[in-house]
């Protein structure tokens, strides 16, 4: 799963793109900001996906 796919799933759950800093897209919801790295089609590591899931409460699969 790459960064663009993660962002699509988070946006479906109400997360909005706050800003982009370099290759990191920062999504915001209810005052929380979560960074999602986007490096083309490169898949994100399983630990990073798990961390994003914990921070957002959204299941990414």
Question: Which residues fall within 8 angstroms of residue 1, CB to CB, at 6 or more apart?
Answer: 43, 44, 49, 60, 61
Residue 14 lies in a domain: yes
CA neighbor of 28 nearest in space, from 60, 55, 54, 61: 55
pLDDT at 22: 97
The CATH number covering residue 15 comes to 3.30.920.30
pLDDT at 4: 97
Residue 16 lies in a domain: yes
pTM of full prediction above 0.85: yes
Residue 61 lies in a domain: no
Residue 43 lies in a domain: yes
- Give pLDDT tens digits for 3-31: 999 999 999 999 999 999 999 999 999 99
For residue 56, pLDDT over 90 is answered with: yes
Residue 17 lies in a domain: yes
Q: How many structural domains is the chain composed of?
A: 1
Mean pLDDT in residue range 36-51: 97
**Residues of the domain holding 20:** 3-56
CA distances from 56 to 16, 18, 21, 41, 50 (A): 12, 15, 19, 22, 10
Residue 26 lies in a domain: yes
């Amino acid at each position: 799963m790459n960064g663009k796919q993660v962002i699509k799933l988070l946006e479906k759950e109400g997360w909005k793109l706050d800003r982009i800093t370099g290759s990191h897209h920062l999504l915001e919801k209810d005052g929380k900001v979560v960074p999602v790295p986007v490096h083309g089609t490169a898949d994100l590591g399983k630990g990073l996906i798990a961390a994003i899931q914990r921070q957002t409460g959204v299941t990414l699969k």
